[in-house]
Amino acid sequence: MKQKLSIVPFSTLLIVSILGVVLSGTPGSTFSEGFNTGDVAWMLAASALVLLMTPGLALFYGGMVNAKNVISTMLQSFICMGIISVLWIVVGFSLAFGDSIGGFIGDPRTFFMFNGVLESKPWPLASTIPLVLFAFFQLKFAVITPALITGSFSERIRFTSYILFACLFSLFIYAPIAHWTWHPDGFLFGMGVLDFAGGTVVHISAGCAALAAALYLGKRKVAAIHEPANIPFVLIGTGLLWFGWFGFNAGSAVGANSLAATAFATTNTAAAAAGLAWILFDAFKGKKPSAMGFCIGVVVGLVAITPAAGFVGISVSIFIGVVASLISNIVVSLRARTSIDDTLDVFPCHGVGGMVGMLMTGIFAHTAINGGNTTGNGLFYGETKLFFTHLTALGIVVAFSFIGSFILLKITDLISPLSVTPEEEMLGLDATQHDEQLVLGKIGTPDIQEVHHEPVMA
């Protein structure tokens, strides 16, 4: 049965590879006028930094789950570097940044199979770098977004079904929101919404999808004490995310300039403040300061500063990091008292963190910080338009990403069941989904070994 089901995705990849040859046409001359070599060099580095965030996320999530699900959890992040990269070439980039259709979606024909990307003029808002570089910088954002969702359904989803959902989410949720927000003709862009590096496009969309997934899949069937497999993995993953986030935020200046330096500074400051706020608030509640707590706080701070990174002052980023950390910490505690099984608290951290960041941008954004390119000053400076614009946009994005993801989960479930069986959940997804297992040696050294087991239902 599994072999028969694998025919469809395998055949699809073969067809796409053939189309890549058939539709390539005669290569035209590559556009190369007016580029700034410094900007190109920085954006190549920034793109690599953003890609590094996905392996960082894999370690971050992988260290938090039970030992029998480490590999499956990490692979759910890594596989996005494969499937979304190919999907982006075929049609994803066109849907997000192609010729606008009514401000809601890009024309899939604009850059279908990446035709014309090398020959085209630069993106209007990134005029000093080649269009292909801008496209691949944006690809890295598209890669990590569905990977972020995986923390909500860790330890209980079928791998093949997850791949289908990731594809559907990328095409029908991520690409439209990216188009609305970052395309000059997108309707949120036209409203004046500010999202410097993806707080709305990446984190709110992923966080709301994570909540939808947690509600749709329900609680894990096998009751067990949740013990993180490897806290050092979490620490290393956090370090890679923090490091890569400089490309995420500072790279969104699309040039080696003072705006990139500002975004770099606000990013580091908010992360530091949020990490400290999390463990100090835990101590205030009577808990011991923990490595896990600091790491989660850092990530929340990074999420919250993302939409505001190039629009707010450096000292303000301390306030944003602290407030986001406190609110997410409280929401994590509240979520734990409910029946919602968001395994790694993706919604309280990424979803809520992104919402806080979006509203903080509407409060503290100032035209002077990014050279007058914002649509107005924030509420803190006496202007109300930007804040209420962000409040309206927040409602639109939350509703679209939550309801849309819930529908896509249902469609996926009808095509390929999402949940593993209770027996598979008990044995762990590493063994039942991948025939692999994380084995701890006598001195505690992780060792990945291939394992063979009898069919679960035999």
CA distance 303 to 198: 9
Helix, strand, coil fractions of the chain, as percent rounded to 5: 65, 5, 30
The first and second tokens of residue 195, run together, are 């999202």
CB 202 within 8 A of CB 345: no
The first and second tokens of residue 332, run together, are 């994590």
449 Ramachandran zone, left/alpha/beta (phi>0; psi -120 to 50): beta
Burial of 155 (0-12, 13-18, 19+ CB in 10 A): buried
Q: Give how far Cα 36 sits from Cα of 48, 371, 427, Å.
A: 19, 19, 55
Other beta carbons less than 10 A from residue 416's beta carbon: 16
- 3-class DSSP state of 438: strand
CA distance 245 to 306: 9
Amino acid at residue number 32: S
Amino acid at residue number 200: T
Of the chain, the end-to-end C-alpha distance in Å amounts to 15
- What single DSSP character describes residue 435? S
Domains of the chain: 36-435 (1.10.3430.10)
| pTM of the entire predicted model | 0.93
pLDDT of residue 395: 98
Other beta carbons less than 10 A from residue 109's beta carbon: 11
- 3-class DSSP state of 65: coil
pLDDT of residue 414: 97
Q: 373-384 burial string, b = 16+ CB within 10 Å, else e?
A: ebebbbbeeeee
Other beta carbons less than 10 A from residue 99's beta carbon: 13
CA distance 291 to 184: 42
CA distance 113 to 88: 9
**Phi, psi for 441 (deg, rounded to 5):** -75, -175
CB 254 within 8 A of CB 126: yes
- 3-class DSSP state of 440: strand
pLDDT of residue 145: 98
- What single DSSP character describes residue 419? B
CA distance 230 to 156: 19
The first and second tokens of residue 23, run together, are 């539709």
- 3-class DSSP state of 446: strand
CB 129 within 8 A of CB 254: yes
CA distance 297 to 302: 9
Other beta carbons less than 10 A from residue 333's beta carbon: 12
User: What is the SS3 assignment for 185-238?
Assistant: CCHHHHHCCCCCCCHHHHHHHHHHHHHHHHHHHCCCCCCCCCCCCCHHHHHHHH
- Per-10-residue mean pLDDT for the chain, 458 residues long? 70 92 80 92 98 98 96 98 98 98 97 93 96 98 98 95 97 98 97 96 98 95 79 98 98 97 98 98 96 98 98 97 98 95 96 98 92 82 96 98 98 96 94 87 47 40
